[in-house]
Structure 1
């Protein structure tokens, strides 16, 4: 029938003999491409949903820590024959292997290549008997750290306190017989540029106080210690107008009980290391309340820290509490840049000089404003000619305690 139909539909004078019929697909090329793209999309979505790979296919380095097993004493004795014993005694004794040496195996995620690296070799195991603090970071003694739920926090160990170990160098004999001033630049850690400017432009005798906030306050604090500044950690505390004026996360509050505030306190302590003491950050309401301040000062004493009161409220109970707990203490006499103009800063610095000569020591606190850094730098250069010694805050604390 099909052949008859072809003959009927063929124009006159033409023949169908030898003509090949064309094969027709039931879909077009565009439809095929669309189906393939749809299949690719379905496969991609399935991999994304059901494949547990949070790194998205990035190469992975597997680290294996292997602790070298101790060698039995009898094995050590067997290793040296009687004939070789004199030679062994005469030979120089190799350094003892560190007890915390580890082997790290690094596996290339793409090629599978393995590489073993030994870390911790050569570290002294006699840290408890050493007179020199062991530095994990810039001068940070690992003996003066203990682990908390939030990280490492300061502790007293082997008779050493963070206050004495992390105090900046000073000629204390000279400070005892001459008028002294201590300057604390506070509010650092938030804003790397202003923090770096304070670290680099001010002399080491200026004490720097860091808030626990910022992207990496620990790194900036370590840089300050590299430049030989002693540092403080500021603890955010409740002001009178809280929460309209909010110091930040984990603020210590008068509405919390002692255990809750201590938990927050530990969070702040873990944010950086190597500080000689703590200071209030805001906190006019909190520092005026004896019940909530007592646990904080008691904990500071337990952990060997000093306490600096920024002088923002005359109602602060920090000084009598610190005295009762034996905590080294200092309170700011003047906020140097309360009015942040060159003229007012200079006037306040003159007042600081006068107080130092009258009382023997004076303490000023400033922020890291460019005008403050500039005026402080110029003023500090004039102190020698005025018979005044610039000292770190810890030196001023000790001088006040002895006088």
Structure 2
């Protein structure tokens, strides 16, 4: 009799805890950038569609990769070339520190024409450009006008990217892990484990890698293990769902997925037995720790 009286309370508490557990999932956002030059880049399509492709503008394969990604429901970004301290060649449409605002806007618009379905932008190189205010303001004002989001690749600790993006109201994030600046298996695994630790601590992690054959093969082998550890591979389309262009391109698909997930949750609640509810009540004593932000470093390839 007592059990029957307590059951509604137990189920109510457990439903709340289930909701908290869903919210506490750790999101892993992986961006592969530098796509567009090499025929081998298309091997990245063998990876889950949550992996984001960031494409260099006006490269031989830019349009082909962007179109195929769109057909597969993948999110695409523009990998915008920006001046590095090293003076490395940026490739087409690179942004330099001596450019006027109008020239920066013009180059970004022209770059977007070669990757028209891009929903966001991240910097290619840029250790010089992202550290100066006027140029970044001009860039991010145009990013905002086009309804895009911005991911700071953090190729310098002096970057002003996310700071200015937040001030201008541009949806933004910063890279936290570089996955593959060394292609040795042991190093890739070290960075992959580092990625998982940050995700578990902070609730999300933004990772940048490249479509090297070694990286693609490594990810194909190790990504399936994430779910077992309570980690979720998440598309930037979901992470930046509030960005206007993301909402326009992916809104209907996301709403459908959400409705299916809600139906699954209702079914699971209805099927919960009294025995399982009591057995699970020990969850009431668990708690979540708030993560401390990781120190972010400079891109090793600049």
Once the two structures are superposed, what CA deviation does each residue of 1:221-250 show, in whole Å capped at 9, x if it has no partner?
A: 1111222210101111111122xx111132
User: Residue 185 of structure 1 aligns with which residue?
Assistant: 32
CA distance in 2, matches of 1:175, 1:229: 24
Q: Is the 8 A contact 1:330 1:396 kept in 2?
A: no
**Aligned positions of 1:338-377 closer than 5 A:** 338-377=181-220
Q: Is the 8 A contact 1:181 1:396 kept in 2?
A: no
CA distance in 1, matches of 2:156, 2:240: 19
Q: Is the 8 A contact 1:278 1:305 kept in 2?
A: yes
User: Residue 152 of structure 2 aligns with which residue?
Assistant: 309
Once the two structures are superposed, what CA deviation does each residue of 1:43-67 show, in whole Å capped at 9, x if it has no partner?
A: xxxxxxxxxxxxxxxxxxxxxxxxx
SS at match of 1:233: strand
Query: Is 1:233 paired with 2:97?
Result: no
Q: Is the 8 A contact 1:209 1:234 kept in 2?
A: yes
TM-score norm. by structure 2 comes to 0.71
User: Residue 56 of structure 2 aligns with which residue?
Assistant: 211
**Aligned positions of 1:371-386 closer than 5 A:** 371-386=214-229
CA distance in 2, matches of 1:291, 1:327: 16
Q: Is the 8 A contact 1:361 1:396 kept in 2?
A: no
Query: Is 1:285 paired with 2:128?
Result: yes
Query: Is 1:198 paired with 2:44?
Result: yes
Structure with a larger share of its residues in helix? 2
SS at match of 1:264: helix
Q: Is the 8 A contact 2:57 2:92 kept in 1?
A: no
User: Residue 47 of structure 1 aligns with which residue?
Assistant: none
CA distance in 2, matches of 1:298, 1:214: 25
SS at match of 1:255: coil
Q: Is the 8 A contact 1:182 1:206 kept in 2?
A: yes
SS at match of 1:308: strand
List alignment gaps of at least 5 residues for structure 1: 1-172
Pick the aligned partner of 1:396 from 239, 262, 285: 239
* C-alpha displacement of 1:288: 0.5
* C-alpha displacement of 1:311: 2.1
Once the two structures are superposed, what CA deviation does each residue of 1:137-172 show, in whole Å capped at 9, x if it has no partner?
A: xxxxxxxxxxxxxxxxxxxxxxxxxxxxxxxxxxxx
Q: Structure 1 pair 398/174, CA: closer, same or farther in 2 (3 Å)?
A: farther
Query: Is 1:254 paired with 2:97?
Result: yes
Q: Structure 1 pair 174/261, CA: closer, same or farther in 2 (3 Å)?
A: farther
* C-alpha displacement of 1:395: 2.9
SS at match of 1:212: coil
Structure 1 runs of 4+ aligned residues shifted over 6 Å read: none
Q: Structure 1 pair 372/216, CA: closer, same or farther in 2 (3 Å)?
A: closer
List alignment gaps of at least 5 residues for structure 2: 1-19, 243-290, 292-302
Pick the aligned partner of 2:118 from 267, 272, 275: 275
Once the two structures are superposed, what CA deviation does each residue of 1:274-297 show, in whole Å capped at 9, x if it has no partner?
A: 111111111110001011110110
Q: Is the 8 A contact 1:330 1:397 kept in 2?
A: no
Q: Is the 8 A contact 1:175 1:389 kept in 2?
A: no
CA distance in 1, matches of 2:23, 2:129: 34
SS at match of 1:353: helix
Once the two structures are superposed, what CA deviation does each residue of 1:197-241 show, in whole Å capped at 9, x if it has no partner?
A: 002x11011111100132241122111122221010111111112
Q: Structure 1 pair 340/249, CA: closer, same or farther in 2 (3 Å)?
A: same
Structural RMSD (CA): 2.0
TM-score norm. by structure 1 comes to 0.53
